[in-house]
Amino acid sequence: MRTVAIALLVSAGMFAMQVGQAAEWQVLPDTAPAPADNPTTPEKVELGRMLFMDPRFSSTGTVSCNSCHNVMLGGEDNRSVAMGVHGQTGGRSAPTVWNAAFSSSQFWDGRAATLEDQAKGPVTNPIEMGMTELEEAMDRVRDIPGYRPYFEKAFGGDDPMTVDNAARAVAAFERSLITPNSPYDRYVRGDREAMSEQQVRGMATFAEVGCAACHSGPAFSGPLADTGKANFMKFPTFTDNDYVSDYKFTDDGGRFQVTGKQTDRDFWKVPTLRNIEMNAPYFHNGAVKTLAEAVQVMAKTQLNIDLSDQQTADIMAFLSALTGEFPEQPMPRLPMTSGRTIVE
């Protein structure tokens, strides 16, 4: 009996130690912070969902926000690089929109400080949605009578149908895209059964080899920072390996394209690891097709270490524990135009 009691105490002590270590890490909140000038309301979320799904605000009437950031999937399109109007492709992979509200800036290079700013960018990008001006896109919204009641409910006022309000509505919808209560979250809260033995081992390996130095915080994208002050890291850090040349990781320049500063070359916003198993292919250029190789690439290019097969498998198991619960996304019925089209 004394041996059994000691064994139970040791087991409880190990579990307490594991939870204690995990307590330094953060769970994903159930709600996202919203700016004072755009509090989240059900009316804004409803309108934002419609605008997010509506392709008529692209030049060809074929591309919506959801085309590249598909909320029926992992919040992106599973393509190496995103495809916009006329089948054009850019040079970067579409980042997931799920849990984007927990990032202090948006896009791979952090060029948008807020979700509101981000919502405006793709509309006038010639490769993405291809509209000439934001007001041109807004004129299409105004030309659909059925949208007006939704803007009036969401914002009120004499003239609620503005570019800024459309962006506010899309941002409000995006702040509703949260995937909480993953096995990791439940484990951190104290549920000892939430993660498997391999996932717990992978969590320890993730921390020990240095992954958590960058991928921390509630979204595993770095600690929460002030708006517009994203967590940027140089990628790749160690360039003397075949991954860098084979996958052309340094061809883009990263944040250098925003600031023009050589010191920002190859710096990127630290991406979230939430639901990462759903978001292949990986990295800013979508060059790596599997999560297993992505883990090995990160270890070599950022930490200059070669992971064993067991370490890779354990870290992957832990990353699978970051997949949360996806709230149901009903497809909205979009307002229609009668007897005419607004797409030229």
Tell me, yes or no, if 128 is annotated catalytic. Answer: yes
138/176 Cα distance (integer angstroms): 23
Residue 143 C-alpha from the chain's centroid: 32
For the segment 33-91, what is each residue's pLDDT rounded down to a tens digit? 999 999 999 999 999 999 999 999 999 999 999 999 999 999 999 999 999 999 999 99
Q: Which helix (H) or strand (E) holds 233?
A: strand 232-234
Asked whether the predicted pLDDT for residue 226 surpasses 90, the reply is: no
Q: pLDDT confidence of 343, banded at 50, 70, 90?
A: confident
pLDDT score, position 320: 98
pLDDT score, position 179: 98
Q: Considering the chain, what is the average pLDDT of its residues?
A: 92
Residues above pLDDT 70, as percent of the chain: 93
Asked whether the predicted pLDDT for residue 326 surpasses 70, the reply is: yes
What's the whole-number mean pLDDT along residues 251-278? 97
Asked whether the predicted pLDDT for residue 287 surpasses 50, the reply is: yes
Identify whether the C-beta of residue 248 lies closer than 8 Å to the C-beta of residue 287.
yes
Q: Which helix (H) or strand (E) holds 232?
A: strand 232-234
DSSP 162-206: -HHHHHHHHHHHHTT------HHHHHHTT-TTSS-HHHHHHHHHH
Residue 224 C-alpha from the chain's centroid: 14
Residue with tokens 């291809």: 130
Q: Name the residue among 235, 279, 273 with its Cα closest to residue 254.
A: 235
The encoded tokens of residue 133 equal 């001006």
283/92 Cα distance (integer angstroms): 9
Q: Which of 46, 128, 193, 293 is catalytic?
A: 128
pLDDT score, position 10: 36
pLDDT score, position 87: 97
pLDDT score, position 228: 73
Q: How many of the other CB atoms lie within 10 Å of CB of 36? A: 5
Residues above pLDDT 90, as percent of the chain: 88
The encoded tokens of residue 145 equal 């009578």
Q: Name the residue among 49, 184, 170 with its Cα closest to residue 101.
A: 170
Q: pLDDT confidence of 7, banded at 50, 70, 90?
A: very low
Q: Name the residue among 79, 97, 111, 109 with its Cα closest to residue 252.
A: 109
What's the whole-number mean pLDDT along residues 197-221? 97
Q: pLDDT confidence of 9, banded at 50, 70, 90?
A: very low
**Domains of the chain, earliest start first:** 17-29+179-320 (1.10.760.10), 42-174 (1.10.760.10)
For the segment 134-168, what is each residue's pLDDT rounded down to a tens digit? 999 999 999 999 999 999 999 999 999 999 999 99
94: left (phi over 0), alpha (psi -120 to 50) or beta: beta
For the segment 166-185, what is each residue's pLDDT rounded down to a tens digit? 999 999 999 999 999 999 99
Asked whether the predicted pLDDT for residue 16 surpasses 60, the reply is: no
Identify whether the C-beta of residue 291 lies closer than 8 Å to the C-beta of residue 280.
yes
Identify whether the C-beta of residue 322 lies closer than 8 Å to the C-beta of residue 184.
yes
Nearest 10 degrees: CA dihedral of 313, 318, 320, 324?
A: 180
